Structure 1
C-alpha cells in the first residue's frame, strides 16, 4: 500500500535537526566500523574474483584511462571529493521548497538507505581497489593528483584529516546510491529537458568516477543502487509508523490537557446573596412584577 503524503508543510528547523542527527550518527558509525585490514583486503579480492567470473572487466581499463589522462582524472577526483556533498543537499533543498508534499517521503527514503549502507560497512568492511597491492593493477588517482586539490592520499578527506574517514567503507557505494536518489528526484519532479538530462547523466557520471578513480568496484555501485531500492520499499511503512506515533502522542497530550481544565470556571460553587466574584457583572434589577426566583410567586422587592 503506497504511503499517503502528509499535507502539512515540514518545518525547516526540524528537518535540519533530523538530518544533522542522522548524518552525525552515520559518520560516527562509519568510524567505528573500520574493520580489520586483512579481512577488508580479503573481501576486496573476493569481489574482484566474483567480477572476473561474471566477466566484468571495467575497473582496470577505466582506472588506466583516468591515470594516463589528467584531463579526465583530475576532474574525476574533484567530482568524487565534492559532488557527493553538494548535489544531494541541493536536491533536498529544492524538494523542500518546490515539492513540500513529497519531501518527507523522499527524505525518509534517503535517510533509511544511508543507514542501511552503514550496516553494509559494518558487516562487510571492504578494501577499495586503490588500496590493494600494486600487483592487482590499480592506481590511486586521488593520491596521484592530490597536488591539484585539497585532499591528501587518504580518500577524499582534506589533508591531515585522513584519520577521520573510514577507507574500508566501499561496499555498498553510497556515492552511487545518493546519485541514484538524486537522479530519481530530478527525473520525477523536474519539468525541463535539462533536468531530465541531468537526472540520467549524474548517476552514470558518478558511477564512472568512483570506478575510474579506483575508489569502488563495479559491484559496489550495483550494491549502492540496490540499497536505495530497499530503502524506497521501507520508507512508506516507516513514515506511516512515525505518523501514527505522532498522532497518539498528540491525542494523549490533548486529552490530558482537557482533563486538567474544568469546563465550569466556578467549579460548581455559587455566591451568596450580595456577593460576586471579582470582575463578575452584577445582574440588572428585575422588572416589577417579575417572578420571584424562589418560586413563591411574590414580586421581587425593589432595590
Structure 2
C-alpha cells in the first residue's frame, strides 16, 4: 500500500477553460484590433515622413541592413519567393496553432500566455495610432527599395498590398510598420516553444523562428530594423503587464458574476498563489501530524500538558476537574502508538514498511490531498 500526494491534472484544469468562451474571446479581440488598425491609417505624408526619419536615423547609427537584404531577395528568387510565402502566411498560421497547442497540451499555462499575446497586440495598436509609418517599399524610389511581394506576386496569392490576399488590399493598413508585430508575435511563439516544448528540435526551431522572421520582414522591405526592435520591446512590455491584466480581468468577471448571483470560478493560478501563503504547505505536512486544530490531547501526554515542554496549557482544565489519567501502557506498546514524523514532499511515496497507519488520513483536512493505492 502506498500513499502519494496528488497535483491538479492538466485535463481537469482544461475542463474549466471552455472553448466556446475562449474562441469567441480571441476572435472578438482580434476583430476589434483589425478594425481599429484600419481606422487609424493616418495621413500618408506623415507616414512617409516617419519612415524616412527612421531610415535616416539607422543610416546615422550605421544600423541599416534593410537595403542589403532587400537587394539579396530581389536578385535571387530562391530567397525572395520563400521569404514572401513566409511573410504572407506564417504570421497567421503558427501563432494560432501554438495557442491551440497550449490549450491541448499545456492548459495550465494557456491563460497567462494568451493574455500576454493579446496585451502586446493592443500595445502595438497604440504604436500604429501614434506613429503611422510607411514601410521601406512605400518610400520614394530614390531610397532604393524594391517591393518583393509585387515582384514575385505571380508565385503566390498575395498582391501588392502587404500580406493581404490579392484583391483584399483594402482590408489592411499598409502604414502600420511601427512596431512590427510579425516580429513580436514570432518572438512570443519562440519563447513559448522554448519554454514548454519537450523535443529539443522543436525548441531550437522556436529560437530560429523570430530570427528568420526579422530577416524576412527586412528583406521583403516591409519593415525597418527599428520596427523589429520595437516589436520585441512591445512583447516585453506586454509580458510585464500580462499578469496584472489577468488579475484585473478575473476581478471584473467575478464582480459581474456576483451581480447575477453566481459564484465566480477560481482558476488554478489563483489557488496556487493562495496555497503558497499557507503556514504549512499540504505537500510538506508530516505524516502522523494532524493538519488542523487538535481535537483532543496529544498522544502519550496527559490532559493539561503540552507535547513540547510539559507545562500546563492555557486552556487546560484545573486539577480538581481534570479527567482521570489512564494507566500508562507498557513501554513496548507506547512506542508502537507514537507515529513516526516523516515528511512527504509532493509526489513522493511512503514506504510500505512504515509503521504509520494510513487509515488515519481517511478524513479531515488531509482528505483529498493524498491517494491510497
User: TM-score normalised to the size of structure 1?
Assistant: 0.80
Alignment of 1:230-245 (within 5 A): 230-245=237-252
Higher normalized helix content (fraction of residues): 1
Q: Does 1:49 align with 2:56?
A: yes
Q: Aligned partners of 1:233 and 1:7: how far apart in 2?
A: 24
Distance (whole Å) between structure 2 residues aligned to residue 221 and residue 231 of structure 1: 15
Matches within 5 A, 1:78-93: 78-93=85-100
Per-residue deviation at 1:252? 4.2
Q: 2:29 aligns with which of 17, 22, 37?
A: 22
**Paired position in structure 2 for 1:59:** 66
Q: 5 Å matches for 1:265-284? A: none
Deviation at 1:251, TM superposition (A): 3.7
Is it true that 1:165 corresponds to 2:172 in the alignment?
Answer: yes
Counterpart CA distance in 1 for 2:260 and 2:41 is 43
Aligned residues: 251
The 5 Å alignment of 1:67-86 reads 67-86=74-93
Q: CA RMSD in A?
A: 1.5
Counterparts of residues 134-173 of structure 1 (less than 5 Å):
134-173=141-180
Deviation at 1:228, TM superposition (A): 0.5
The answer on whether the counterparts of 2:150 and 2:159 sit within 8 Å (CA) in structure 1 is yes
- CA displacement at 1:247 relative to structure 2: 2.7
Task: Report SS of the residue matched to 1:121.
Answer: helix
The answer to whether the 8 A contact 2:55-2:64 is kept is: no
How far residue 179 of structure 1 moved from its aligned partner, in angstroms, is 0.1
- Rounded to whole Å, the distance in 1 between the matches of 2:164 and 2:135 is 15
2 CA distance for matches of 1:119 and 1:140? Answer: 26
Query: For residues 252 and 167 of structure 1, what CA distance do their matches in structure 2 show?
Result: 44
Q: How does 1:251-262 map to 2 (within 5 A)?
A: 251-254=258-261
1:201 deviation in Å?
0.8
TM-score by length of 2: 0.65
Whether 2:120 is the aligned partner of 1:113: answer yes
Structure 2: give runs of 5+ residues left out of the alignment. Answer: 1-11, 264-373
Moved over 3 A (4+): 6-9, 248-256
> Aligned with 1:79: secondary structure?
helix
Q: Kindly state the Cα deviation for residue 133 of structure 1 after the two structures are TM-superposed.
A: 1.1
Out of 189, 203, 206, which is 1:182 matched to?
A: 189
Give the alignment partner of residue 247 of structure 1, picking from 225, 250, 254: 254
* Residue 255 of structure 1: how far off its partner (Å): 7.7
Residues 23-52 of structure 1: CA deviation (Å, up to 9, x unaligned): 000110111011111100100001001111
C-alpha distance in 2 between matches for 1:150 and 1:196: 30
Residue among 200, 205, 228 paired with 2:235: 228
Unpaired segments ≥5 residues, structure 1? 1-5, 257-303
Cα offsets for 1:72-97 (capped at 9, x unmatched): 00000000000000000000000001
